[in-house]
Structure 1
């Protein structure tokens, strides 16, 4: 199995393999793709979960929105579609997602509404060497839904405490290498880190296994351009700051309350108001990202808030949302009005 320091190295390696030496070419449900079967890789440092290559323009706000959506246990479109409108095409009723919504399956699985997260944490506490700490995602009944637009791509997540560190393995029936893998690895390593902090243990390695790792034909030109471009202008580090120690889920709930107020126009924030929330610095930075997304949509000045972010976050936000750098400052607007 291939090992990489972080996601970007694994991402570029597997895109190159799919471009140069695909194992198969096919068109499931009419979508032309090229694929390899049984792809697997290990990341030595799961906090290096970001692709910072300048050609990719990673959407950090969506990455956090999706991971927090999972941790909230929600299945509604309101939050996720605000940051990625294209997800609406996977909804059968226009209001919620089924297969993509891993949160309800993690925290309220099946007719008994089993909290798999709590069960896994307790299983590890009772037997640190256990191999049974598995969260099941895919459900067989999904295949029986006619013309189902949203079948879960993830089969299961497994957590293994080994030599004092929490390792994780994600098993996927299929993974879109160009787009989906970037957000999936972000979310799954984030869940791994949340679980590790809750258990008060270090984060170990992350292993990603995909039955079908594929590249859709419309994404081939973009993948080829990414491979051809050098990484000039890349962020000096792609390692994220560590989460606070302990159970972070109360902070997640508070952040999502603030996010909803920002998304619906009920709230605007500056650095002082974010400080007043009383959140740990890590989560205050996440709130700042949501506020910057609001400002980007409104073409409002942002340098005052962007400057308080970790350099990695600021770099990715300016690349993804150039308007944040170009929106006039309050002083410039005053000067222009004179």
Structure 2
């Protein structure tokens, strides 16, 4: 058995997957009008799952959405209020305009069961505390009932997550039925590795490897030009380290911290509050989570103050990597001459 190829960062894995799919695709897939180039059965491993962020000029990402989606999952939510605010396209996945069923992975992993029993996540952690070498800590997402309706607008791409505690490290394996290598994979790996890091903190373990298995890995025909730009940008040094060090989630992170961040996120999202860096620094949160709230405040300004640049003090208070991403994603909202 050959292990999947290992990469020091997701940025390296992302470029390698794009190159493999675009240059060695097996099929042209026309499912539901989303023409794509596809390979069947793709896997890779990340040696340091914290290195989950992209810093590529040809693939600017939205760091606010990355944290919003991960927190939406951790909050066990189905409603659109949070996720639909940061990505309006997600509303197209809803039947009733209020909730999402299939891709609300967090509701299937983190929400308590209707009978009041603990969530799948809590049960998995309890198992790992009792049996440190267990192979059974699997968090299922895809259900047989998801196939009941042909043409359902929101079928889960995630099959499930497996947590494996070994020699003081927490490893995680993700199984996906399908993944868009240029779009969904970027967000999925970010959220799933953040969930892995959170789980490691709850168990008092160090962060181990992350492995990503995909049944259908594909790149949309509409995205081939963008993929070519990424490949050109990374061609000189495919194994180059990301431009910025990865932030480290505190090992004392608790569910209280997650709940507090979600409470403040809602105030900012609904424009009931506006925070200066000093306000955020005064909150009873580790700096890691304060930085997340600064990103949400930046987004509040982008949405509610469309004619103004993002507050310079706020930009200065962001970690360099997050600031770099904000400046590339919203260059017109940064004061002239301020992009590094």
Query: Which TM-score applies when normalising by structure 1?
Result: 0.92
Mark the CA change 1:80 to 1:327 in structure 2 (over 3 Å): closer, same or farther. farther
- Tell me the residue number matched to 1:332: none
Selected match of 1:312 from 321, 331, 334: 321
- Tell me the residue number matched to 2:62: 59
- Tell me the residue number matched to 1:221: 225
Counterpart check, 1:117 vs 2:117: no
- Tell me the residue number matched to 2:50: 47
Counterpart check, 1:181 vs 2:185: yes
Provide Cα deviations, 1:213-270, integer angstroms capped at 9, x if missing partner: 01111111211222223589x9963442111113432111111111111111111110
On the 8 A contact 1:176/1:214 being kept in 2, the answer is: yes
Counterpart check, 1:165 vs 2:186: no
How many Å separate the matches in 2 of 1:187 and 1:107? Answer: 14
Stretches of structure 1 that go unaligned for 5 or more consecutive residues are 330-338
Q: Give how far 1:326 is off.
A: 1.9
Counterpart check, 1:81 vs 2:84: yes
Write out aligned runs for 1:265-304 (5 A): 265-297=271-303, 298=305, 299-304=308-313
Q: Give how far 1:72 is off.
A: 0.3
How many Å separate the matches in 2 of 1:104 and 1:302? Answer: 35
Provide Cα deviations, 1:29-49, integer angstroms capped at 9, x if missing partner: 232111111100000000000
What CA RMSD, in Å, does the superposition of the two structures yield over aligned residues? 2.0
On the 8 A contact 1:301/1:328 being kept in 2, the answer is: no
Write out aligned runs for 1:62-141 (5 A): 62-108=65-111, 112=115, 114-141=118-145
How many Å separate the matches in 2 of 1:153 and 1:275? Answer: 38
Q: Give how far 1:147 is off.
A: 2.8
Selected match of 2:29 from 23, 26, 30: 26
Selected match of 1:237 from 243, 261, 275: 243
- Tell me the residue number matched to 2:215: 211
How many Å separate the matches in 2 of 1:274 and 1:108? Answer: 28
Mark the CA change 1:129 to 1:154 in structure 2 (over 3 Å): closer, same or farther. same
Provide Cα deviations, 1:295-331, integer angstroms capped at 9, x if missing partner: 12323442101111211111111111223422799xx
More displaced, 289-298 or 195-204?
289-298
Counterpart check, 1:252 vs 2:261: no
Mark the CA change 1:235 to 1:37 in structure 2 (over 3 Å): closer, same or farther. closer
Counterpart check, 1:15 vs 2:18: yes
How many Å separate the matches in 1 of 2:203 and 2:150? Answer: 41
How many Å separate the matches in 1 of 2:197 and 2:149? Answer: 34
How many Å separate the matches in 1 of 2:269 and 2:20? Answer: 40
Stretches of structure 2 that go unaligned for 5 or more consecutive residues are none
Report the number of matched residues. Answer: 328
How many Å separate the matches in 2 of 1:302 and 1:145? Answer: 48
